[in-house]
Amino acid sequence: MQEIIECVPNFSDGRNPEVYTAIADAIQSVPEVQLLDVSADPLHNRTVITFVGSPSGVEEAAYQAIKTAAKLINLDNHQGEHPRIGATDVFPFIPIRGVTRRDCVQLAHRVGKRVGDELGVAVYMYGFAATTKKNNKINDIRSGEYEQWKQEVGKKESRNPDYGPAQPATWGATAIGVRPFLIAYNVYLNTEDVEIARQIARNIREMSGGLRHVQAKGFLVDGQAQINMNILNFEHTPLYRVQELIRSEANYFGLKITRGEIVGLTPQKALMDSAKWYHQIHDMRDEQVLEYRLRDWTGIQIGDFTPDRFLEATAANTPTPGGGSAAALVGALAASLTQMVAGLTMGRDAYSAVQAEANAVLDDAMDLRQQLTNAIVEDSDAFEEFLRVRRQFGKEDQALEKAILRIVEIPLKVAYLSRDVVLLANSIAEIGNKNAATDAATAAILARAAVQTAVLNVRANAKSLPDDARSMKWKAEVESLNKQVNELVESVIAIAARRGGY
């Protein structure tokens, strides 16, 4: 499976094409990276660049971009509407395909350390990569902006960076982190009164008691009041819901929305969800959209195999994909169901007391789903390599022993990951939306099947290893794991029956 990470760094210059073009060129010069978008905003004096690539590619591109920005942007001479603390103000890494959140966190810290050590840029880690709770949010890191930061860094302990020197510099500081995909969305009103935009922003953003996953500020842009937003989870808080709440708030002041604006890129699903809502075609299937059907027909599709294609590949008279890949797929499906139950619990008044716990389950389930999805291909690749080595070298070569270790380690990993899914299903079954309790139980049952299947593969593959002591250890390990999972699943089923009333 191709590994793809998206980066959406923000640079503190949107008025000098030679500056932001040089930064974009530095990114494009790195192999295995694709530049997708450059959005320069002269009023905010800020440029948002979107690019994707392999982990190694985006890691190097991030360093080169920050290096270029530090050379070309002097914060002492910078003015703009948007809050900022550095030449490269914020640099998020977003897992897209074939990589986990943990992978991105490790990558972000490698970049942060290199930028701090080699470029002398003060680096603060945020989001999922944060080292302390105080650095978790961008607003906390940017507090007082560049001007206050350069007065306090090196003097106040709270301003000490995670990497790099605790001293002021004209390139300021950089926040590097990991976050989910967000949509940068702006709405304009038919007024010059920026205070109204600020009031509406306060009313709709999460930190003031508004919509979850929404950050918002009010600005005056070209004579129009603008509500500037980041929507951190468009599936939980869709664009149309944000739009309609702003419309209602604006109506209170006798105002109207004149237009919306998306900065950078957005998932197609976000726009499709809005189209379905506004046209009241809730039962419309994506397959009814011509471009979707043409994409599927031509085979031009970014993403994993559709279920039908995976089933056809499994049914074929070839050794792979086999039971190991099937176990990983079932485990990923169990994680998806667990995530769904957590999502159905989020934002519900009846479950307001358990929002933090449900959110933690949701994040962990997403991570497990990605790791198990990766294992579908990892298992097939490992078994193909085992067959190749056995044909080439026979049974007495070290390369074969290494290949056998791989076809044991992957299903063992799948077993443990699927066990972790059962633990999450158990947690969300107890506290989550009771109307989805049976889905939590289904997730646990599926995860148990994934564990049992993976255990079979461990047993079968371990017997090929000459080291009998290691084989016995693995067999004892998976027997204990199997027993633990069986007990957990029965607990989840009992909880679901009690809370679901059946």
| Candidate list 13, 41, 44, 82, residue with the active-site label | 82
What gap in Å lies between CA 133 and CA 240, rounded to an integer? 32
Active site includes 379? yes
How many Cβ atoms are within 10 Å of 410's Cβ, its own excluded? 25
| Candidate list 364, 367, 379, 420, residue with the active-site label | 379
Active site includes 222? no
Distances (CA, A) of 458 to 4, 108, 309, 387: 30, 34, 26, 16
Residue 420 corresponds to which amino acid? D
Dihedral sign (CA 406, 411, 414, 419): negative
Dmax over CA atoms of the chain, in Å, equals 82
Q: Is 289 exposed, middle or buried (0-12, 13-18, 19+ CB in 10 A)?
A: middle
- Cβ atoms of 208 and 33 within 8 Å: the answer is no
- For 397, residues 6+ apart whose C-beta sits below 8 A from its C-beta are 389
Dihedral sign (CA 485, 491, 493, 496): negative
- Cβ atoms of 170 and 246 within 8 Å: the answer is no
Active-site residue list = 82, 379
